[in-house]
Each structure stands twice: as C-alpha cells, then as structure tokens.
Amino acid sequence: MADPGHEQSTIGVPIKASSNAMNLNVACSQAEENGFSDLVPATGTEEEVREILQQTSLKLVDDHLVEFSEALRTVAKALRRVAEGTAIATAEAAEWKRKYELERARNLQLKKQSEGSHHNPFNEKLQNSPDRVVMSGPQIEQTEKCCGKHGICSHEILWDEAPQSNSKLAQEMADAKKASFKLCWGCNGEKSGQHKHEIVSFERGNITTAERSSKQILLKWESPPQTVLILTKPNSISVRTLCAEMVRWLKECKKIIVFVEPRVRTELLRETSYFNFLRTWKDDDEKKLLHTKIDLVVTLGGDGTVLWAASMFRGPVPPLVSFSLGSLGFMTPFQSEQYRDYLDMLLKGPISITLCHRLQCHVVRDAAKDELETEEPILVLNEVTIDRGISSYLTYLECYCDSSFVTCVQGDGLILSTTSGSTAYSLAAGGSMVHPQVPGILFTPICPHSLSFRPLILPEYVTLRVQVPFNSRGHAWASFDGKDRKQLAAGDALICSMAPWPVPTACQVDSTNDFLRSIHEGLHWNLRKSQSFDGPHDS
C-alpha cells in the first residue's frame, strides 16, 4: 500500500510546475502587449522575467517624470513672461493716464485764461497751431517754476522775420511764418541743472551749437596755494622715503602747510621729531571738512592711491596731482623723479586739468517705504559692479534708465562705469575705451548669457536703477571701486547717477595726450611690428 504523504508530494510537484509555467506565459504575453517582446528571453525563469519587467517599468516612469518636469518648466517660463508683461503694461498704462490727466488739466487752464483775456488773433493762431508742443508732467512744473538760471525758459520765444521782396514766392513765405518754439531744460533745481547758455545759440529761429565746454580746461590760481595734502601708498619703504623728502622741500623751500594721514604722521615721527609740523585730522568729522582747508592733493602710488584719494572727499574735491609709484598708471601721469619741477610748475599755474566724473550710488532696501529712504550714498570714480558673489546661479537683474525699462541681465553680473573707469574692469569685460572728458555712463555686462547683449554708453544726466526681482534664484553683491561690498537681496535696488562733484586731476600735457599715452604705455594698444620695406610692392 502506498504511503499517503508520498503520494501527495508527488502529485504536488507537477501542479506547482504547471502554475509557474502559466504565470510565465501570462507575464510574457503582457510584455508582448506592452511592446517589450524583444526584451523578454525565449527561455527564462519567472524571476528573470519579473526583473526585466520591473526595470522597464521604472525606466518608463523616469521618462515620464522628465517630460513632465520639462513641461512644467516651460509653463513656468510662460507664466513668468506673462506676469512681467502685465506689470510693464500696467505701469505704462498708469503713466499714460497720468500724462493724459495732466495735459487735460493744462488745456483747461489755458482755455480759461484765453477766455478771460482780451482777444488776440495771433495768440489764437498759436494755441491752435498743430506744431505746438504740449508739455506734461514734470516739464509743466519746471516751466512754471523756471527762474532763467539754467537755460532758456518758456517765456523766451524766438521770432523770425520774413524776407522783404515783391515776388509772389516771398509774399507766400511772408504769409506762412515759421512756427515759434521754445526750449526748456535743467529747470528742476540743483539735482541735474545743466548750464546750456554757453553752447546753444539761435539765429533766425534755427538752433546751432557753439563750441563744446568739454574742450581742454585750465585752472588758474587767483591766490598762491597755501596747503597741500599728501596721500601715500602704504607698506612701501621707497614711497615713505619720497614722502619725507617731499615734505621737507614743501616746508623749507615753498613755505607750505602740509597735511598727511594719521598713519603717515606717526610713521615719520618714529624716525625723527622734525616732522612735528605735519598736520592731520582726528576723526571723521574733521575729515569731512578737508576740502575747506586743502588747496592741492598729491598722491604717491598707483591708480589705487588715486581711488583712495577720491573716496576721502564725499563732496567737492581739490585739484589732484598723481605721481606714479605703483604697478598701474592710467591716472598717474607724473614721474616721481622730477617731482620738484612738476610741483613748482603746478603751484604757479595755470594747470591743465581733466574733470573725472564720479557716480553717486544709493542702495534702496525692500523694506524701505519709498526711494528717499536710502542708505548713505557712495561715490565711485571707476565703477560699481553687481555680481553673483558666491552663488552658483546666474544673476538676474532688472535694469531701468530713468522711467524706461532697459533689459534683464542674466549672466555673471553688470558693470556701471564712468568714462574714467573705462580702461579698468569695464574694458576687461568687453567695454569700449572712452576719453575721460566724454560725459557718460558705461553699461557693460559681465559674461552675459546671450550673444546679442552688447555694452552701451548712456548720457551723463540719466539715472540708472538696477533691481533684484523677487523671482531671482539668488542674491546679488555690489562693490564700489572694488571695496565696500554690499549684499542685495530680492526686492533691493541700486540707484546710480552722475555725482555733481568731479575729481579735477592735473595733466602733464593735456587730457587727450595723457589719455593716449596711458593706453599706449599701459595697455600696449595696437602695438605691432611694421611691415618690412623689402617685401612685395604694387607693380
């Protein structure tokens, strides 16, 4: 008699094998339906088939997630562009509405004045003239408050006389008189008043410009200079030796009062008590009043010393004489070996000077109530740089010029430079070299993420606003002449305009000669060997 347990075990084996074969067939059929018949082996176990199916399903899920994320990114970009376009359109609509309301109020006021005054045919013709220029907004206030000190005011209307002739053409020209016009600018106070009387003249109703005021400037002393401030490059034995020798010469031979920095006075007094006559300042309050005491500033060092000298004066700057004792000498035209001859000539005058413009920068935080609530202004002689700092993301900056949108900067950063700083960081970033007496602001991107983003040169009277938008991935950092680094978070803005106090720097010859010499010697600009004379010639 057979063992019952053995019989059950022998019967269970083929039943289990048949179920495994059935599951394998079902899995293979499902793989064929999903299009993965090539991946399933013809002869394989159930575990191999399951492993292959799991891998393929995971791959399908990953591919779908990648496509879904790309679609979401595209939608986010589109929504961001729509939001930016809506904000710009809303701002433009509000500005146009404001201008329309101001113009309407102006026209109603003119209509009431014309109804209340005596009837004048010419005034009626002038009011109804299609060529009449209607000003609105701040220009109206400027016209009404203009005092005539900054330009040609609105009441100065120029008339044109018709030629006297008996011909029919002359009679027609006499009947159709040239339209009167008016020019108005710089009438908004001390902020940006541009004195234009010297460069604009009128002749029979036509505008002509006289010679520009940017020609070479000469400084003539009305009385001999009495005080000289000497600023030196630190940690240099040769500079300290030259400073001590120059101080002795100015005191004994020229009878001039000499000011130095507290650090320099301490170093010289360590050597000998002879330098007790040197004057200095004690705190920042006395430092702010230096421009009221100093007649001439002398720097001993390189361009960095010149930048340091300019940063010491937050307002007016005395004439600056720079002696070359550093590695860079774009702004140091005088050689230290002949300092006595140069200083003797400069103290007698006249001095050929270059007015190096400076930028005045304000940081406006997002928490500020309005743009008047700013941090202490910073003056820069070369440039202000906005970069991404330690962040690995590209900078994202919104730029505005006055009330006009300029562009969005995406890249390593942006440089706002003066023309004096055009041969510094701006030049390294691809900006152009500009003569220092050309009044303007250089707008230079740093490694932009667009091949069509090229540098700009903007006029000197504009106000630039660079803002970090709220959708920026990271913060930005602003540095002013390479120092005073400040962090700009989302919503913060940097406002830059031309400062009213330039830096008058003395020239060895004149501004153009010194500028060309500096780019030839400092940059080796367009330096190459001449072609050989014994080469091929035209037949």
Chain segment 487-533, per-residue pLDDT in tens? 999 999 999 999 989 999 999 998 899 999 999 988 889 988 887 77
Chain segment 205-218, per-residue pLDDT in tens? 565 555 544 468 88
pLDDT at 371 over 50: yes
Listed in sequence order, the DSSP H helices in 146-193 are 168-175
- Give catalytic residue positions: 303
When pLDDT is averaged across residues 354-379 and rounded to a whole number, the result is: 85
pLDDT at 366 over 60: yes
What token pair was written down for 473?
């991935």
CA 450 to chain centre: 19
**Of how many residues is the chain composed?**
539
pLDDT at 153 over 70: no
pLDDT bucket at 229, cuts 50 / 70 / 90 = very high
pLDDT value for 327: 77
**What's the farthest any 2 CA atoms get from each other in the chain?**
152
pLDDT at 81 over 50: yes
352 Cβ neighbours under 8 A, 6+ residues apart: 216, 217, 218, 219, 506, 507, 509, 510, 511
pLDDT value for 41: 53
Q: By percentage, how much of the chain surpasses pLDDT 90?
A: 40
Whether 422 and 431 have beta carbons less than 8 Å apart is answered as yes
**Counting runs of H as helices and runs of E as strands, what totals does the chain give?**
12, 21
Whether 369 and 360 have beta carbons less than 8 Å apart is answered as no
Chain segment 155-178, per-residue pLDDT in tens? 333 333 444 445 665 666 556 555
pLDDT value for 6: 45
pLDDT value for 325: 87
Q: How many CA atoms lie within 13 A of 518 on its CB side?
A: 30
pLDDT value for 143: 41
pLDDT at 70 over 90: no
When pLDDT is averaged across residues 271-276 and rounded to a whole number, the result is: 91
Which of 9-13, 50-54, 184-188 comes out lowest in average pLDDT? 9-13
What is the CB neighbour count within 10 angstroms for residue 220?
7
What is the CB neighbour count within 10 angstroms for residue 191?
10
pLDDT at 280 over 90: yes
pLDDT value for 244: 94
Of residues 147, 122, 141, 144, the one with CA closest to residue 132: 122
Pairing of strands 456-459, 440-448: antiparallel
Which of 112-116, 318-322, 331-335, 482-486 comes out lowest in average pLDDT? 112-116
Name residue 134's amino acid.
V
Which residue has better confidence, 179 or 226?
226
Whether 160 and 178 have beta carbons less than 8 Å apart is answered as yes
Q: By percentage, how much of the chain surpasses pLDDT 70?
A: 69
Q: Which domains does the chain have, with CATH numbers?
A: 99-209 (no CATH), 225-354 (3.40.50.10330), 359-501 (2.60.200.30)
Tell me how far CA of residue 1 lies from CA of 4, 278, 390, 505, in angstroms: 9, 130, 88, 124
pLDDT value for 115: 65
Whether 281 and 287 have beta carbons less than 8 Å apart is answered as yes
When pLDDT is averaged across residues 470-484 and rounded to a whole number, the result is: 92
Name residue 532's amino acid.
S
pLDDT value for 11: 41
Average pLDDT taken over every residue of the chain: 77
Beta bridge partners of 200: 209
